[in-house]
């Protein structure tokens, strides 16, 4: 099916509306991959397939078992999403109106997926060494971020050249993006020190789980405060209803994610809560980026240069 879709793309032109659908499917797939990877870790299926890229030493799939099925299912999903990513790149070259910017962003997704595949192989080869597991997860979240940018860029051919709010609000939003990145790193480090190593007996980070958990929770509280402050800044600045709506959405999803995180902590990190926390982290990333990117107009920026000698 993938080859037929690729052949069709190579012989037809597609509109930006059609490409937007592909880009959104691409983003959904990248998000599902994070949930699938979390299921692998939380069911101790990280070494369900002890070999890579094949599952068994002598067979590609291996004998039936829960851990093998979960891990191999994750690999199948990764393959399907990789095919979708390739189709998205090819489609960028088949647009009715040439868009070099979309080609570049779609190409970046491919590079990220390839890096993720390599990292996944190294994770298996290293028997789930925590630093590599963290890198693998961070690559997945970074890919979601690029996927969000790709969807946004379809309607914004001029990129971020034309902001629609004060520069101070843009800088505040950039601080949100940066702080969210730090929080995701702290969260993945917390998981690296926690009880869910992906397989029984897997190595854990040699740091205090309680200590890193509290550091993660403290920074999360700071981020919530920063987001609430940003909401008030939007109200004071009198931003458009669309920007205000994105700010409200960001507040809601962040508070919900914080509630899930504290529930996870007080219930001593049960796996079924961790799945929701992983999904929530992805939703927060999407909401933060949607808010930030929403501060820029799709219109071509108006030249403001004044000729020399004219005041």
Q: What's the pLDDT score for residue 177?
A: 96
Q: What is the pTM of this model?
A: 0.87
Both tokens of residue 150? 């790709």
What's the average model confidence in pLDDT over 236-246?
93
Predicted confidence (pLDDT) at residue 297 exceeds the cutoff of 60: yes
One domain for residues 122 and 245: no
One domain for residues 55 and 183: no
One domain for residues 251 and 263: yes
DSSP string, 237-257: HT--HHHHHHHHHHHHHHHHH
In tens, the pLDDT along 108-136 reads 999 998 898 888 888 878 888 889 989 98
Q: Is residue 310 part of a domain?
A: no
Last residue of a domain, one of 92, 123, 155: 155
One domain for residues 3 and 31: yes
More confident residue, 209 or 311: 209
More confident residue, 215 or 66: 215
Q: CA 187 to CA 217: how far, in whole Å? A: 9
- Do residues 130 and 192 touch, judged by C-beta distance below 8 A? yes
Q: What's the pLDDT score for residue 305?
A: 52
Q: Is residue 35 part of a domain?
A: yes
Predicted confidence (pLDDT) at residue 84 exceeds the cutoff of 80: yes
Q: Is residue 309 part of a domain?
A: no
Beta bridge partner(s), residue 14: 95
One domain for residues 184 and 148: no
What's the average model confidence in pLDDT over 5-27?
82
CATH of the domain at 277: 1.20.120
> How confident is residue 45, by pLDDT bands cut at 50, 70 and 90?
low
One domain for residues 29 and 42: yes
One domain for residues 124 and 178: no
Q: What's the pLDDT score for residue 9?
A: 57
One domain for residues 253 and 129: no
More confident residue, 122 or 270: 122
Predicted confidence (pLDDT) at residue 272 exceeds the cutoff of 90: no
More confident residue, 304 or 22: 22
One domain for residues 151 and 227: no
Q: CA 166 to CA 173: how far, in whole Å? A: 11
Last residue of a domain, one of 107, 128, 155: 155
Q: Is residue 134 part of a domain?
A: yes
Last residue of a domain, one of 155, 189, 213: 155
> How confident is residue 310, by pLDDT bands cut at 50, 70 and 90?
very low
One domain for residues 100 and 131: yes
Q: CA 187 to CA 138: how far, in whole Å? A: 10
> How confident is residue 311, by pLDDT bands cut at 50, 70 and 90?
very low
In tens, the pLDDT along 156-213 reads 988 888 889 999 999 999 999 999 999 999 999 988 888 776 666 678 889 988 899 8
Q: Is residue 97 part of a domain?
A: yes
Q: Is residue 249 part of a domain?
A: yes
Domain of 292 in residue numbering reads as: 158-303
Q: Is residue 311 part of a domain?
A: no
Evaluate the CA torsion angle 290, 294, 295, 301 in order and state its sign: positive
Please give the C-alpha separations between residue 39 and each of 44, 52, 70, 273, in angstroms, as whole numbers.
Answer: 8, 18, 8, 11
Counted domains in the chain: 2
One domain for residues 21 and 129: yes
* Chain mean pLDDT for the chain: 84
Predicted confidence (pLDDT) at residue 10 exceeds the cutoff of 70: no
One domain for residues 64 and 19: yes
């Amino acid at each position: 099916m993938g080859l037929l879709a690729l052949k069709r793309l190579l012989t037809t032109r597609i509109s930006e509306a059609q490409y937007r659908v592909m880009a959104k499917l691409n983003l959904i797939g990248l998000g599902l991959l994070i949930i699938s990877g979390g299921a692998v870790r939380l069911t101790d299926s990280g070494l369900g397939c002890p070999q890579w890229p094949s599952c068994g030493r002598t067979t590609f799939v291996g004998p039936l078992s829960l851990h093998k099925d979960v891990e191999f299912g994750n690999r199948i999903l990764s393959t399907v999403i990789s095919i979708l990513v390739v189709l998205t790149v090819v489609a960028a070259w088949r647009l009715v109106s040439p868009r070099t910017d979309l080609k570049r962003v779609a190409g970046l997704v491919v590079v990220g997926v390839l890096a993720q595949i390599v990292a996944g192989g190294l994770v298996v080869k290293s028997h789930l060494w925590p630093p590599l597991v963290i890198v693998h997860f961070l690559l997945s979240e970074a890919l979601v971020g690029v996927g969000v940018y790709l969807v946004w860029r379809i309607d914004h051919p001029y990129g971020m050249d034309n902001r629609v709010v004060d520069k101070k609000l843009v800088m505040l939003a950039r601080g949100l993006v940066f702080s969210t990145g730090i929080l995701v790193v702290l969260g993945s480090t917390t998981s690296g020190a926690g009880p869910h190593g992906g397989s029984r007996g897997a190595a854990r980070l040699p740091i205090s789980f309680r200590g890193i958990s509290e550091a993660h929770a403290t920074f999360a509280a700071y981020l919530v405060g920063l987001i609430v402050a940003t909401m008030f800044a939007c109200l004071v600045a009198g931003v458009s209803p669309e920007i205000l709506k994105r700010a409200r959405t960001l507040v809601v999803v962040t508070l919900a994610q914080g509630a899930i995180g504290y529930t996870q902590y007080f219930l001593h990190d049960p796996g079924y809560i961790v799945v929701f926390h992983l999904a929530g982290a992805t939703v927060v990333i999407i909401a933060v980026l949607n808010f930030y990117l929403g501060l820029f107009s799709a219109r071509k920026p108006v030249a403001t240069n004044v000729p020399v000698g004219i005041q």
